[in-house]
Chain A
Amino acid sequence: MSGPLHAPRMGPIELLWDAVRSDRRALSGAIILAVFLAVAVFGPHIVGDATALVGIPLQPPSWEHWLGTNGQGQDVFAQLVVGTRVSLAIGFTVGLLVVLVGALVGVPAGYFGGKVDGALSGLANVFLVLPGLPLAIVIAAYLPSGPVTLGLVLVVTGWAWNARVLRSQALALRRRDFVAAARVSGESRLRILAVEVLPNMTSVIVAQVIGSTVYAIGAQVGLEFLGLGDVSAVTWGTNLYWAQNDSALLTGAWWTFAPTGLCVALVGFALTQLNAGFDEITNPRLRLERAWRTFLGDRGRGVERSTPVVRDHD
């Protein structure tokens, strides 16, 4: 191995675990996510059929129906729980796919450079500049509604950003000494890509997957809200679609849309917090500053403009 130029190679799971252990934000994010995952996996079994008509429409929360009933007379809590599974599943899947496509375009662009870079970057930039939501709406309008269409549309509109980020990372790594050393020693470019470059991009890729999942969940809910998903399915987005359609707001039935939105926000927030904590341990500059701030904080000193003077006996 090439010595001090390599960061210790940790797999993505180990890195995440490290982040969760050492950073409070990452920990809080992970806990929230765990709760939602549990709901997604076990919830539907406990709650039963969410589409059953169980009561008078638009009833406020009560002991019988914890979150009341929606415009059709279905139990809102049940709808929320059942919807969790589909929404999270699509979210994570699309998040991974988007990074995969982005990597397929971005990494070769950054690593090989030249004409390859020109063509691939051009493609990514075009998709980056085209406004995502209108494009998504137009594509989804022509295709039959359902999770596959939704997934396709989200990937088409979301891959370009990842391509750009991964490209610049690959570009930076290409210029590093250990890559030059490998080339000089005769390793093939493809092998270098697989063995030297990609493993060093682990932390970036993990961060991108988390970020893309946030995007995927949000965008999915948005499209379903507009009625472009399968409106007969039970997901967070379609719940909101029906809430809007049944004029919930104009009758004051906040329970039909508020909890769903809160769940989307919590999951998004949890993922972002996880990412923030992750960034703290992988970004060397931030790590350095943290130790310094803790040092000052322990001695009751705040952050000052000039270099602080903290005498030994303090």
Chain B
Amino acid sequence: MTEPLLSVRDLCVDYVTPQGPVRAVDRVSFDLQPGEILGLAGESGSGKSTLAQALLRILPPPAVIRGGEVRFEGRDLLSLEETELRRVRWSRISMVFQSAMDALNPVLKVGAQIVDTLQAHTDLGTDRARERAAELLEQVGIPRARLDAYAHQLSGGQRQRVGIALALALEPELVILDEPTTALDVIVEREILQEIRQLQRARRFAVLFITHDLTRMLQFSDRVAILYAGRLAEIGPASVLGSAPRHPYTQGLLRAFPSLHDAPGVVRTSIPGAPPSLASPPAGCRFAPRCAQAMPRCSTTGPALVDIGPGHRVDCRLLD
């Protein structure tokens, strides 16, 4: 087996609030192979975006990374100096943000924002950089005339495409997609995901695909990880999790999400209850209060990580 591109071990992220620290990411571990597409799903507030931004260490205050290791291409990103980190950012790992409207600077032209990225990492002159920026835009289906447009002059789909062009500008090894299509309508969403997949097949970069839409994620990813209240509930190949998930939460999610292949008359059921407050999480397993299969010791000794197949791991006592 090849050396993983990204190796996260026991990552812990807190938000320091006046009421005390809130653990948003609790000892999360996973690997990502070169060229692999790993989907990361979870409800709102499950810690998906926190996890993604923690990898690049761009979480705004009051976030603090409390422990763990993020090994990328052999180096622990958590122990890098600021200047080293800047070199890794974007040229090796890049990100497409959720709402590109907010992510693009409203007072600068779109082209200028691609150019400054190029010039920050390479020694391309202004003209060559502009040319390259135009090529990047065309690759994502935006006419090069739009280089001189402002963000608010583009449609939602176009802005997201600009975000993708930006992310691919330096040909990174890993692209993090943080809910890239949540703000878009279904048709545009489909187009964009197809484009990303095409680009990924051509360039072979790894993808960390974050979303709350489980169905989309299962279609799109090679492997899938399920996050619940800051902990990794289950991780494994998409085909396996889509057909035979082992964690009660994953099972509940699958029952709640529609699928075009469902037989008519299949009833959708949602998971009762609500995610726990991260400020005062329940003792033991965080899913136990909502779990239909919970045992008494789930609430006392908490869950356990169990390997149940190649690349398939579950955080649950049921399989112990």
Contacts and interface: CB of A to CB of B under 8 A. Distances in A.
Given A288-B18, A291-B18, A307 B66 contact: no
Nearest to A294: B16
Interface residues of A, number: 18
A306 B18 contact: no
Contact of A312 (B53, B57, B59, B67): B67
Interface string B39-61: 00000000000000110011111
A304 interface: yes
Contacts of B85: 306
Interface string A204-242: 000000000000000000000000000000000000000
Given A306-B57, A306-B58, A307-B54, A295 B64 contact: yes
A309 interface: yes
A307 B17 contact: no
Contacts of B61: 288-289, 292-293
Given A307-B57, A307-B58, A291 B65 contact: no
A288 B62 contact: yes
A312 B78 CA distance: 14
Which of B17, B62, B85 has its CB near the most chain A CB atoms (within 10 A)? B62
A183 interface: no
A311 B17 CA distance: 17
B165 interface: no
A45 interface: no
B78 A292 contact: no
Interface size class of B (residues with CB under 8 A): 20 to 34
Contact of B65 (A289, A293, A308): A308
A291 B57 contact: no
Given A288-B61, A307-B57, A307-B59, A312 B16 contact: no
A309 B67 CA distance: 7
B12 interface: yes
B153 interface: no
A291 B16 CA distance: 6
A15 to B, nearest CB: 16
A278 to B, nearest CB: 16
Contact of B82 (A292, A295, A305): A305
B18 A290 contact: yes
Nearest to A284: B18
B62 A291 contact: yes
Nearest to A22: B18
B12 A304 contact: no
Contacts of A308: 64-65
A287 B60 CA distance: 14
A310 B82 contact: no
Contact of B16 (A295, A305, A311): A295
Contacts of A292: 16, 61-62, 64
Contacts of B79: 309
A287 B53 CA distance: 23
B227 interface: no
A33 interface: no
B63 interface: yes
B66 A311 contact: yes
A225 B16 CA distance: 50
Contacts of A310: 64-66
A307 to B, nearest CB: 4
B230 to A, nearest CB: 15
Interface in A262-295: 287-293, 295
Nearest to B50: A307
Contacts of A288: 17-18, 61-62
A165 interface: no
A312 B23 CA distance: 12
A296 interface: yes
30 contacts: A287-B18, A289-B61, A289-B62, A291-B16, A291-B18, A292-B16, A292-B64, A295-B16, A295-B21, A295-B62, A304-B82, A306-B57, A306-B58, A306-B82, A306-B85, A307-B54, A307-B57, A307-B58, A307-B59, A307-B60, A307-B63, A307-B65, A308-B64, A309-B57, A309-B65, A309-B66, A309-B79, A310-B65, A310-B66, A311-B66
Q: Which 10 pairs of residues, A with B, have the shortest CB-CB distance?
A: A292-B62, A306-B57, A307-B59, A307-B57, A292-B16, A295-B16, A309-B65, A291-B18, A292-B61, A309-B78
Given A295-B64, A311-B67, A312-B66, 8 more contacts: A288-B17, A295-B16, A296-B64, A305-B82, A306-B57, A309-B66, A309-B78, A312-B12
